[in-house]
Structure 1
Amino acid sequence: MEPWGREGSRQAPDAGERMPAGRYRLVSLLGRGGMGAVWRAHDEHLDREVAVKELRLPEHLDEAGRRTWIARLEREARAAARLRHPGIVTVHDRVTGEDGRPWIIMELVRGRSLEDLLKADGPLPPDRVARIGLQVLDALRAAHQAGITHRDIKPANVLLEDDRAVLTDFGIAAVEGDATLTSTGAVLGTPAYMSPEQVSGHEVAAASDLWSLGATLYAAVEGRPPFGGATTGAVFVAIATRDPDPSVHAGPLEPVLRALLRRDPSQRPTAGQLHTRLAALARDRQPAPPTVVQPPDPPPGRTRPRALRWREVKLLLVALGGVLALGLAAVPLAAFTDITQQKGREKRDNARYLANREAVERMTSIPGKVVTVKRANDVDKVYVESELCDDATFAARKCDVDGMVESVLTWGRGQPSVMSIRLNDPKDECQQNPGCEFTVVSRGRPEISEVGIYSQYLSEPDRSIVLGFRVG
């Protein structure tokens, strides 16, 4: 398998003669992009292979434009160097060439990009896409916690090395504290994977990266991005004004994609909620898609009242008589079927939610002060917000992190349905944005699907334990 795609073995005429910083001998071209080229190189000092990104300046740039392009690559180096995560390409060094252009020295990922894989093999099965999405999400969460928004999540920037997915190319990342490097009206990002707020020129935040992740996963299961058009403007209009076409190959991943691709950022799932859903799908624990509820068989000697059902259909057909006049009688029948299926789904979701609510109400000894019990975006899940540290105590930095973590662990170990519970993150992250999370293994119902001490995303407390329940 060639590193970074199909260009991994391409030998440039002068590759072996070029050696940035007198130590990184260029071996072969891995790929070219809008901002430059990526080479496979050999580090002569440490005797190891690395990837080297070379900045390629567009022709006819004036001095100001040249400085802007160089500053953009410098920002990529700074952004990526701040991050330490197995799902993010590691930056080893930044050097300057004889002509003043910077080079970024990175780890060499021996694999293909998701884009190249899709071109070669076609759409991927939902469970594999969920595993890829879970790894990219973990990388994004590390970037967001460091104050970095990627702003260009797309299949070409997801590298696959065996079972590892790696996020790369922070060339247009927004870094807290850095001034923008673009002029008014400049388009930064790949149109088909830009969020509605991004194409509208509004502020880009973590939720924007999650939208682009949703578009990337959509492309992975469908073989195409969720929006298209003959021109960049047409794509932008579609993203800003329309819902994506329903995914036909996503299976149990479809509700996750639909939630991520909501135009309103506040209506998208949080990173924690998304992690829970993708983890369940990656483990093949997602319930089968709902089926249409059929009426029970009639008692012996009686037939199902088909006449009544047909009267309902006739009323619908009469209301859509204009459509029938065009010879499209099947359309209202399909609409009637969709309505029936939707009602069936709503009925089952309500039943699960009520069961979850009852399970929550029967629970005792939840740490802290319960603030609210509410219905989550997942429609069948209940969220509990319990205040572990009030505003005044938090403002004075007097929250006892050890005590908060221990109270959650003690509570979890005392629940009959919990087999094990452990803290995933360092304790000090519980007092940072977005917070810290626990891994819970359940052995029965109700299944506790999410536990964390969060410092944002919540409506009331500064620090909360968030519990998610799913039944059935």
Structure 2
Amino acid sequence: MDGVRQEDTQREADGRLLAGRYRLTGLLGRGGMGAVWAARDEQLGREVAAKELFLPEQLDDAERAHWIARLDREARAAARLKHPGIVTVHDHVTGADGRPWIIMELVRGRSLQDLLAERGPLPPARAARIGLQVLDALCAAHQAGITHRDIKPANVLLEGERVVLTDFGIAAVEGDVTLTGTGAILGTPAYMAPEQALGRPATPVSDLWSLGATLYTAVEGRPPYDGASAGAIFVAVATRDPAPPAKAGPLEPVLMALLRRDPAHRPAAHDVRAHLAAVAEDRTPPGPATLRLPADPPPSDKPGRPPRSGRLRLLLRLLVGAGAAVALLVAVAAAIQIREALQESQERERYAANMDLLAGLGTIPGKSVHFQEGEESAVEVSATLCEKEYATEQDRCDVGVLVDTVVEWLRTRPAVRSVNFTRPKEDCGDDYEDGGCRLTVLTQSPLKLSEVEIANFSEDGDKDLIKLRFIVG
């Protein structure tokens, strides 16, 4: 949790009172985005959980409001849901420092992640019983117009036989304005659907993919995708099918169906439920053929319009019954639609090919690697090489060592022929507005690396934020 305010979680609960009502009694857990505390509602005399939000340092007013809105949205999303498989939200209050807190039901249990860490992989029947309850909770959320977007073992709580879904912090609420910037990706890489990894909108079928990844982890003891960095996992999720699970037994067909990369090819929720129920009850599940495509039109079809196959039949009827002029117009419209679909398919293929080239570069230097789709289906990569606050010049990032590491990494890539500085190496520690330093990297086809630069992206005079940026494609 480097770079966030951690003082609240680095000490024992001090009995702080929130909103004159909720007394903190102990820390339950923490992560990169926030912490959850046990608390007592002194008005009603009951135990509750209180979730606080961590704010990165050096935020301006607009950025602070953005982060606070994220927790506000979680409160609104969860408050709309009334289901035994979803944590109940009781209240939404503001702390003395202006940060919001969510007051919610205290679940006396541990997460699926904790259970797997302690006991290892679960039997398929146990995983199926857990999956059924998570699926029911997801269906309730989807019916309310909410996509969770972060289903993972850490967000599945186990209280006896009850399974509870929590943490709607990045949920997409129908009708809300998105809180992420262009190309921003929120979620946990190993459990994000391919469309999320590519920076595209998440839908209910994205949650089903994440459910499949969670159950895969439950029976295998590891997620379907792994890698040395978040970037490597994103590349794998977006470009490769997962290896079939070895321990899933009768769960294998439904897991592989849920983990299909094309959202339109994933099964409908009721078919998934039928398979999970059969495995949970030790019955023979329906055959793989029952994991058919959803009956509803794919997301690309607008509500109220027939599916593409229906539109094709409609066009044929028009061609037969209409005059030559109308037939010509219909034919032109169909040709335009086909051309647009072909262009979109070609763009997806180019982007996937560039992702494959990125994966071929191996582990990118840096502790935090992000990428997004750029112009002409290129992949824009940004890697944080060093982030450090300093009081003296001796405390600063050693830019020279970082640059040498990057250059050595580039020169040892199989497809790289040469690496040369086009702006002086001494400029690498300069602010990005001054250009930093830039490299010219000559490569063998089909790999193409451009706009390679190393610069200091910090806007704080007492902090270094050295990043490597380049484009593949």
The separation in 1 between residues aligned to 2:219 and 2:257, in whole angstroms, is: 16
Q: Deviations over 1:115-147 (max 9, x none)?
A: 111111111000000000000000000000000
Matched with 1:273 is 271
Matched with 1:237 is 235
TM-score, normalised to structure 2, is 0.59
Tell me if the contact between 1:127 and 1:284 (Cα under 8 Å) persists in the aligned partners: yes
1:11-30 → structure 2 map (5 Å cutoff): 13=11, 15-30=13-28
Pick the aligned partner of 2:217 from 219, 222, 235: 219
The separation in 2 between residues aligned to 1:172 and 1:11, in whole angstroms, is: 22
Matched with 1:184 is 182
1:245-260 → structure 2 map (5 Å cutoff): 245-260=243-258
> How far off its partner does 1:378 sit?
5.7
Cα 1:252–1:261 shift into 2, 3 Å = same
Pick the aligned partner of 2:199 from 186, 201, 207: 201
The separation in 2 between residues aligned to 1:118 and 1:28, in whole angstroms, is: 24
Match status 1:55 vs 2:57:
no
Tell me if the contact between 2:268 and 2:291 (Cα under 8 Å) persists in the aligned partners: no
Cα 1:182–1:218 shift into 2, 3 Å = same
> How far off its partner does 1:51 sit?
0.4
Tell me if the contact between 2:278 and 2:285 (Cα under 8 Å) persists in the aligned partners: no
> How far off its partner does 1:266 sit?
1.2
Match status 1:111 vs 2:105:
no
Match status 1:172 vs 2:170:
yes
Tell me if the contact between 1:11 and 1:28 (Cα under 8 Å) persists in the aligned partners: no
**Structure 1 letter corresponding to 2:84:** P
Aligned residue pairs: how many? 289
Matched with 1:126 is 124
Matched with 1:141 is 139
Tell me if the contact between 1:12 and 1:29 (Cα under 8 Å) persists in the aligned partners: no
Tell me if the contact between 1:12 and 1:28 (Cα under 8 Å) persists in the aligned partners: no
Q: Deviations over 1:274-329 (max 9, x none)?
A: 111111111111259xxxxxxxxxxxxxxxxxxxxxxxxxxxxxxxxxxxxxxxxx
> How far off its partner does 1:377 sit?
3.5
The separation in 2 between residues aligned to 1:59 and 1:163, in whole angstroms, is: 41
Tell me if the contact between 2:216 and 2:222 (Cα under 8 Å) persists in the aligned partners: yes
> How far off its partner does 1:376 sit?
4.2
Cα 1:91–1:287 shift into 2, 3 Å = closer
> How far off its partner does 1:236 sit?
1.0
The separation in 2 between residues aligned to 1:183 and 1:164, in whole angstroms, is: 37
> How far off its partner does 1:12 sit?
6.8
Matched with 2:94 is 96
**Structure 2 letter corresponding to 1:38:** V
> How far off its partner does 1:14 sit?
5.5
Tell me if the contact between 1:114 and 1:155 (Cα under 8 Å) persists in the aligned partners: yes
The separation in 1 between residues aligned to 2:85 and 2:112, in whole angstroms, is: 14
The separation in 2 between residues aligned to 1:219 and 1:40, in whole angstroms, is: 28
The separation in 2 between residues aligned to 1:202 and 1:185, in whole angstroms, is: 8
Bigger shift: residues 69-78 or 177-186: 177-186
Q: Deviations over 1:158-185 (max 9, x none)?
A: 0001111100000000000000111123
The separation in 2 between residues aligned to 1:134 and 1:100, in whole angstroms, is: 39
Matched with 2:39 is 41
**Structure 1 letter corresponding to 2:142:** H
RMSD: 2.2
| Structure 2: segments with no counterpart, 5+ residues | 1-7, 296-302, 305-473
**Structure 1 letter corresponding to 2:95:** G
> How far off its partner does 1:19 sit?
0.8
Tell me if the contact between 1:16 and 1:25 (Cα under 8 Å) persists in the aligned partners: no
Tell me if the contact between 1:89 and 1:106 (Cα under 8 Å) persists in the aligned partners: yes
The separation in 1 between residues aligned to 2:117 and 2:16, in whole angstroms, is: 32
Cα 1:91–1:234 shift into 2, 3 Å = same
The separation in 2 between residues aligned to 1:60 and 1:21, in whole angstroms, is: 26
Tell me if the contact between 1:11 and 1:27 (Cα under 8 Å) persists in the aligned partners: no
> How far off its partner does 1:58 sit?
1.2
Cα 1:239–1:13 shift into 2, 3 Å = closer
| Structure 1: segments with no counterpart, 5+ residues | 1-9, 289-348, 354-374, 384-390, 393-472
Q: What is the percentage of aligned positions where both structures have the same residue?
A: 71
Pick the aligned partner of 1:157 from 143, 155, 158: 155
TM-score, normalised to structure 1, is 0.59
Matched with 1:68 is 66
Matched with 1:314 is none
The separation in 1 between residues aligned to 2:28 and 2:63, in whole angstroms, is: 26
Cα 1:54–1:377 shift into 2, 3 Å = closer
Give structure 1 regions of 4+ aligned residues with deviation exceeding 4 angstroms.
10-14
Tell me if the contact between 1:112 and 1:160 (Cα under 8 Å) persists in the aligned partners: yes
1:299-448 → structure 2 map (5 Å cutoff): 376-377=290-291
Tell me if the contact between 2:90 and 2:103 (Cα under 8 Å) persists in the aligned partners: yes
The separation in 1 between residues aligned to 2:200 and 2:12, in whole angstroms, is: 44
The separation in 2 between residues aligned to 1:32 and 1:57, in whole angstroms, is: 13
